[in-house]
Structure 1
Amino acid sequence: KNNADSLKLTEYDYILIDTHPDFGTITKNAIAISNYLLSPITPSEHGYNAKFDLETRLEKFRKSLFDYRTGETYVDAKLFFVANMIRHNTSMSHDLLKHIEGDETVATIIPERELFNKATARHASIFELANHDESISKQNQKFIEHADHLFQELANKTK
C-alpha cells in the first residue's frame, strides 16, 4: 500500500492476485496488501467447510498482524466467497445453495458450464470465445448475458 503511487496502481480498477489455496507466506502477504479476498466454494464434501476454515484462518491472521501502538490490524481485506461450479441437478449443489442462502459474504453464484472448459483450453475469456465462434455464441447466448450480470454483481460487492 505504501508503494501504490510509485507503481502507478491507481491507473487500474482492479489488480487480481491469484495465489495457491494455502495459508503460506506468499498468500498471507497477498492478503495483507489486498482490499478484498475472493475465495471459491464448491458443492463438495469439503466445499462449505472450507468457507469456515478460511474465515477462521483470516481472523487469526488479522489478530496476529497489528500495530502495537494502536492495536489495529494491518489486515483489512474484506472476505467474499464465490459459489462456483454449481449444477442445477445435483443434491450437493442444492445443499450448498441452501447453506449460503442469505449469506452476505457470498458475492455471486457461478454455474458449471462446459463453456468455461472450452475457454480455458483456448486461453480466452468466455466472451472472447463467443465473439470469435458463432456456434458457441448461439449455444451460450443466454448464459453469456447472465455471466455479464454475475461479474457485475461481483464488481458491485467490491466497490
Structure 2
Amino acid sequence: MNVRHNLDLISGSAELEAVNVELVSRINNTTIFLSYLNKSKITEKYDYIVIDTRNDSNIITNNMLVASDMILGVTDPSADGFEALTNLVGHIEYLKSELTHPVTNESYVKAQVFFIGNLIRHNTRISRQFKEAMKGNSRYLGYFHDRTAFNEAAMQRISVLDLFEQKDYQDKKYDEFKKDTIDLIDRIKETLDTLY
C-alpha cells in the first residue's frame, strides 16, 4: 500500500503463524527471506526497508533478523527491558555462529544490534537510572520521550513528524522534545548509512 510519497507499507497477517508452522520442516528455514530479498528486485526499489517484528525468536522473526543490516532493540526503563536487550544480543550472536556458509564458514548474518530507549521521562528515578546505565554503551543511540504526542499521532494516523507541524506543537514547550525526537531519527539513519 502506498502510504504517501516515498513510503509504502506491507501489513502483517494472521496467516504468518501458519507459515511459521510450515517452515519448521524446511531445510535452511531461517534464510528463506534473505534468499527472497537477494533474488527479487525489491531492494532496488527502496533505499530502506524497515521491518517491525515481535519480540520473539520464532522462525519468521529469525528470517527477518537474518535479512537485516541493523537491528534496533527498543526498551522501556525496566529490568525486563534490560534483560530483553541482553537476550537480543545473545540471540544475534547465536544466529551468526549457526548460520554460516558450509565452505567459507562466513556467516549469513550481517546485522548489528543497537539500543533505543522508549517511554523515558525526564523526572523519574528509573528513567534517570536507565540513561545513566546506557551512558557509554556503544550500542545505545538514544531514547524517545514518554509523551502523549506519539499516541496522538497514532490516533490521527499520521507520523509524529507530521504532528509536529500542527499548530498545537508550535509552542516553545515542545522544542526540546521535537529536537530530541528528530535528532534520534537522524542518528538511527546515520548509523545505518555508516554500516554499509
Q: TM-score, normalised by structure 1?
A: 0.90
Cα distance in 2 for partners of 1:130, 1:141 equals 10
Deviations 1:69-119 (A, max 9, x none): 111111111111111111111121111111111111112222211111111
Structure 1 unaligned residues grouped into runs of 5+: none
Tell me the alpha carbon deviations over residues 107-154 of structure 1, each in whole angstroms, 9 at most, x when there is no partner.
Answer: 2222211111111111111121232x3123325344223322121111
User: Which range moved further: 113-122 or 5-14?
Assistant: 5-14
Larger mean CA deviation between 19-28 and 143-152 belongs to 143-152
Offset, 1:4 = 4.5
- The secondary structure found in structure 2 opposite 1:58 is helix
Runs of 5+ in structure 2 lacking a partner? 1-33
Structure-1 separation of matches of 2:89 and 2:185: 23
Aligned match of 1:43: 77
Tell me how far apart the structure 2 counterparts of residues 39 and 117 of structure 1 sit (CA, whole Å).
20
Alignment of 1:19-98 (within 5 A): 19-98=53-132
Give the whole-Å Cα distance in 2 for the aligned partners of 1:51 and 1:8. 30
Q: In 2, are the aligned partners of 1:20 and 1:27 still within 8 Å (CA)?
A: yes
CA RMSD of aligned residues (A): 1.8
* Residue-pair matches, total: 158
State, as a whole percentage, how many aligned pairs show the same letter.
28
Question: TM-score, normalization: structure 2?
Answer: 0.74
Paired residue secondary structure (2:189): helix
User: Are residue 157 (structure 1) and residue 191 (structure 2) matched?
Assistant: yes
